[in-house]
Amino acid sequence: MLTIKVLGPGCANCQKLAELTQRAVNALGVEAKVEKVTDYGKIMKYPILSTPGLVVNEKLVVSGRVPGEAEITTFLTTALMDA
């Protein structure tokens, strides 16, 4: 199972990233837990300079922008292969 975290204060871009991530998870048909992390202290545990951020299996894969669904799918499949 993948553990996915969307890092950010809940802004429009953070919500968009969460939606795209959930769509990618659904399209792949994999078991995953998608969690929104809005607590600044918890966000700062990752090497992130700007939000939104996407963490897959405790690895920061993107920050400061909203990737497309295809790119998110690539992040997820890479994490599945590394597991």
pLDDT recorded at residue 83: 74
Question: Which numeric CATH code is attached to 2-82?
Answer: 3.40.30.10
Amino acid at 71: E
pLDDT at 78 over 80: yes
pLDDT at 48 over 80: yes
pLDDT digits (tens, 9 = 90+) for 17-46: 999 999 999 999 999 999 999 999 999 999
Q: Shortest CA distance to 52 belongs to which of 2, 17, 4, 1?
A: 17
Q: How many CB atoms lie within 10 A of CB 79?
A: 19
Give 5-73 as a DSSP string. Answer: EEESSS-HHHHHHHHHHHHHHHHHT--EEEEEE--HHHHTTS--SSS-EEEETTEEEEESS---HHHHH
